Amino acid sequence: MTVVAALQIAAGVPIERILAFEDEIRGADLVVLPEAVLGGYPGRVPFTEYFHAAVTVPGPEVTELAGLAARTGASLVVGVIERAGSTLYSTAVFLDPEQGLVAKHRKLVPTERERLFWGRGDGSTLPVVATAAGRAGAAICWENHMPLLRAAMYAKGVEIWCAPTADDRDVWQASMRHIADEGRCFVVSACPYEAEGDDPFRGGSVIAGPLGDVLAGPLRDAEGLITAEIDLEEIVTARKSLDVSGHYSRPDVFSLTVDERPREGVTFVR
C-alpha cells in the first residue's frame, strides 16, 4: 500500500506548527505542503521582516524538516521562501527519510505582486526525484499553467505531480484534475488555509488520480491532512491510451528544448 498526502496549513507558520503534525504524517509515503508554508506569502508584512523570515537551503529549518522526514519515514515536498544572498525565491524542497535534502525547485515565473518580492528560477532546478511513492516532481502554483513546463516534467517520467500552491479558487480543482488526466499521473496539491486575517486563504488541497478522478479533498475552510492510497500500476493502464511524451507525441512536428544550465549573473573565468 502506498499513501500520498497533502498537509493543509497556513502560509508563514513557524516550523513548530509543521512538526506538530508528526503523528498524522507518520504512515504516509509522501506528503506535500503548501507554497510559502515557511516564510509566508509576500506583501503581508514589511519587506525587511519578510526577508529575514525566509530560510536558507540548506539551513536549520530544512534540517528540521529532514529530521521530520526521518522520524516519520515520509518523503516531504515543502514550499518555502528561500533566501539566497539578497534575493528571495519561492522554492519547493524535497526531503528524503534517509538522505535528507535531495533536491529543490525554484519557481520559474512569479505571478503579479510576487514579482516585486521574488526572483526567477532557472532550468537547473527541475528535478524528478525517486521516492517510496514514485517519481516525484513539483510545479509551484501558476507554474502549473505553463504548458511547456508540464511537457518537460512529463518527459522526465513524473508519476507523482506535487503542486504546492497559494491558489484557493474553485477553478484550481479543474487545473489539478486536467494535469492528472493529461500527464496520466497522480497529482497532490497543497494549499494554505487561514482562519482569519485580510483575504485569508481558504484551502482547497486535493489529490487526483491518473484519469483526473478526485481521490481526496478538496479540503475547504479547515486545517488538516488529506490522504489517498495509490497504485502506480494505474499509470501504466492509463498511459495505454494517452502518453503525451510517447505514443501520443509528434516529434516530427513539435519539439521542445529545455536548457538546464544554471544562469548566474556573474561568471568568473580563470
Q: Which of 82, 104, 107, 194 is catalytic?
A: 107
| C-alpha cell at position 221 | 475552510
Distance from chain centroid for Cα 103: 12
| C-alpha cell at position 258 | 529545455
Rounded to whole angstroms, the Cα distance separating 158 from 127 reads 10
| C-alpha cell at position 184 | 496520466
Mark whether 185 is an active-site residue: no
Query: Beta strand 186-190 with 203-208: parallel, antiparallel or unpaired?
Result: antiparallel
C-alpha distances in angstroms, 12 versus 25, 44, 96, 197, 252? 19, 10, 22, 13, 46
C-alpha distances in angstroms, 264 versus 86, 254, 267? 14, 30, 7
Mark whether 104 is an active-site residue: no
| CB-based contact 137:153 (threshold 8 Å) | yes
User: Terminus-to-terminus CA distance in the chain, angstroms?
Assistant: 54
* Residue 251: how many other CB atoms lie within 10 Å: 8
Mark whether 107 is an active-site residue: yes
Q: Which of 114, 141, 162, 194 is catalytic?
A: 141
- Active site residues per annotation: 35, 107, 141
